[in-house]
Structures are given as C-alpha cells and as structure tokens.
C-alpha cells in the first residue's frame, strides 16, 4: 500500500514538474548544505543519552581548532584536534558521516583517545564550521584530508603513524583516499559502512525512498553537480579507488543496514589489493555497529591496529 501511494504521488509530480525541476529538487535535497545536524533515525533514538554524553565529554576536553585556507571564506575548512593523554606521534583521522560534523563522531574520538591516540576530527565541506554550499560525498573531501595528513606530518614529523577511520560517508571518504598517493606514515584504514560508489548509493535511494528510476534523473543530477562542483557522479567510486590500495583495511558493516546495503561491502572488499579484514555486525543497522556493542567494537579495532600500525607498504 505504501509503495502504491508513493508511486501515485510521484508520477503526477514528475509530469507536472518535469525532469529538470525534479532533478534540481533532488540535488538540493541530497547535496545542499544543512545548518544543523538532522535528527537521527528512530532505531538509534535509544542511544541518544549516550550520544550526548559523548558530545559533552568532547566539549570538556582541551582541544585545538585547526584551519585550512582560513583567509578564504569560501574555502575555509575546520577540524578539532584532541591530543592523547600521553604524548604520542600516533594519530587517527576520523571522517564523519553525511550531514554530520566532527563533533558527531565524539564517541569514536573517546574510543581512540582511550586507546592512546591523538584524534583529528575534520568538518567536511558544507558541514559544521567548514565552508561550502554543496556536499561532495567524500570525493573532494578526500583531497582536503590529504592536507590534514600534511598538517599532522608538520606537527609530528617522520615518526608519525596515521590511521584513517570513517563511518558511512566518512567510510567511503577514507576508502576513496586509499587510491591516492599517500605518505608512508599512513599505515592502515578502517571503513565502517562506506558505500561502493555514489552512483550505486543514489540509484538505490532513488528507488527505495522516492520510487524513481535511475534514468533520466541520475544523469540530470550528475549534470547539475558537474556544473557546480566540477565532477561527474560516476567519478565518485570507492571500488575504483580501492583497486589501487595496498594498505591494510578493516571493513565494518551492519548486517541490517538498509541505507548502505551490505552488498556494497562485498564490492569494496573484493576491490582492495592490500591485507583486509571484514566484520559484519549481527543485527546492526546503518552506522549502528559501535552502538550495538561498544566494547566489542573497540576490541576489534584495537586488535586490528596492534596488528597493522607497524605495517609498511612495499
């Protein structure tokens, strides 16, 4: 009944509005900046008290604000840096999810802080305190993260060891970073529920949420994006980038994820060329793996890092 209702609403809307009109609306809905973090999904409301406790914990810590392009209001990027309690040159860069920001990753920041790492929490373009009108779904952000890596190297020198970690869009961001030329100080990657490509993800969501086909809407949305951000959506591929990766990577995905289906994990896992591990978390929905069992999540990550933090790409 719900599908018929949605379809009956969508069909006349498409006819009345036209492909260009509906594509523009879809683009603004999916790519447009939001000024506030949207409310979480219903299944994760039960974690709200814990989530805000993590936020308060992060706000109570002695953090630093790092900036890129601070003299250019249209390009300025911001990140929060939390030093380890005991001085170290080991740092985790934490990439946030869609329409979140660095602060929304406070639970992961606390986990890595307790494991003894420095933590850097960037705000991606069009998120948080960073500039930008449109979300790039990790594609241009991957280049910004290369600059954050250089900032860490300037701080800690050649002895630095860096871990890339991300969840959802952040998971895809670090997966896409894997295909870039990274310094040897970047030792390993952890990607939680990242999508295989933005093309795959948008086709899936067009059908699931709007009951709309890929054609003609996705090509039209891609054309809008090319005019505004300079790249086609089919460029944005974790799978393509992972095919160039030789670093160890740990994939995490919720078994019951219906936002980024677990089938995308299989594509990403098969694509990468380095040492790899995967963990499909029973009963976890999208970006819920940490919340289902924080202790198990921490232990799995700690084991992976103890194995691969010393790894050098041949």
pLDDT, average across residues 188-192: 98
Assigned domain for 208 exists: no
Assigned domain for 32 exists: no
Q: Average pLDDT over the chain, rounded to whole?
A: 94
Asked if the model's pLDDT at residue 190 lies above 70, the reply is: yes
Assigned domain for 91 exists: yes
Assigned domain for 33 exists: no
Total number of domains in the chain: 1
Name the strands in the sheet holding 186-192, side by side, starting at the edge strand that comes first in the sequence. 64-68, 77-82, 118-123, 90-95, 161-167, 186-192, 249-254, 276-281
Instruction: Give start and end residues of each alpha helix (H) in the chain.
Output: 2-31, 48-59, 106-114, 141-156, 169-177, 198-205, 217-229, 238-242, 263-271, 289-292, 294-308
Assigned domain for 226 exists: no
Domain that holds residue 161: 43-197+236-308
CB 192 within 8 A of CB 289: yes
Asked if the model's pLDDT at residue 170 lies above 80, the reply is: yes
Assigned domain for 227 exists: no
Assigned domain for 185 exists: yes
How would you class 193 by CB atoms within 10 Å of its CB: exposed for 0-12, middle for 13-18, buried for 19 or more? buried
How would you class 139 by CB atoms within 10 Å of its CB: exposed for 0-12, middle for 13-18, buried for 19 or more? buried
CB 111 within 8 A of CB 294: yes
Convert the pLDDT of each residue in 226-263 to its tens digit. 999 999 999 999 999 999 999 999 999 999 999 999 99
Q: What is the pLDDT of residue 219?
A: 95
Assigned domain for 218 exists: no
* CATH number assigned to the domain comprising residue 120: 3.40.50.1820
Convert the pLDDT of each residue in 5-61 to its tens digit. 444 445 554 544 588 999 999 999 999 998 889 988 788 899 999 999 999 999 999
């Amino acid at each position: 009944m719900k599908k018929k209702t949605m379809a009956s609403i969508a069909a006349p809307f498409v006819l009345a509005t036209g492909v260009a009109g509906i594509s523009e609306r879809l683009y603004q809905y999916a790519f447009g900046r939001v000024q506030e973090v949207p409310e979480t999904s219903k299944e994760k409301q039960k974690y709200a008290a814990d989530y805000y406790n993590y936020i308060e914990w992060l706000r109570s810590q002695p953090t630093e604000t790092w900036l890129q392009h601070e003299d250019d209001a249209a390009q300025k990027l911001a990140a929060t840096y939390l030093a380890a309690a005991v001085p170290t040159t080991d740092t985790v860069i934490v990439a946030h999810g869609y329409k979140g920001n660095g602060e929304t990753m406070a639970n992961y920041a606390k986990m890595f802080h307790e494991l003894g790492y420095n933590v850097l929490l960037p705000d991606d373009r069009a998120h948080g305190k960073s500039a930008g009108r449109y979300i790039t779904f990790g594609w241009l952000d991957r280049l910004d993260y290369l600059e954050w890596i250089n900032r860490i190297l300037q701080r800690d020198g050649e002895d630095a060891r860096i871990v890339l970690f991300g969840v959802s869009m952040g998971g895809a961001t670090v997966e896409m970073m894997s295909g870039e030329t990274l310094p040897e100080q970047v030792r390993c990657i952890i990607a939680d529920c990242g999508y295989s490509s933005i093309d795959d993800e948008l086709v899936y969501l067009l059908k699931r949420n709007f009951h709309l086909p890929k054609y003609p809407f996705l090509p039209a949305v891609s054309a809008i994006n090319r005019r505004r951000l300079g790249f086609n959506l089919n460029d944005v591929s974790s799978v393509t980038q992972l095919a160039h990766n030789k670093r160890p990577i740990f994939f995490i995905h919720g078994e019951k994820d219906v936002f980024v289906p677990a089938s995308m994990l299989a594509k990403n896992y098969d694509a990468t060329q380095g040492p790899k591990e995967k963990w499909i978390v029973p009963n976890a929905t999208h970006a819920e793996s940490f919340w289902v069992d924080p202790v198990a999540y921490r232990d799995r990550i700690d084991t992976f890092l103890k194995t691969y933090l010393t790894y050098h790409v041949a």
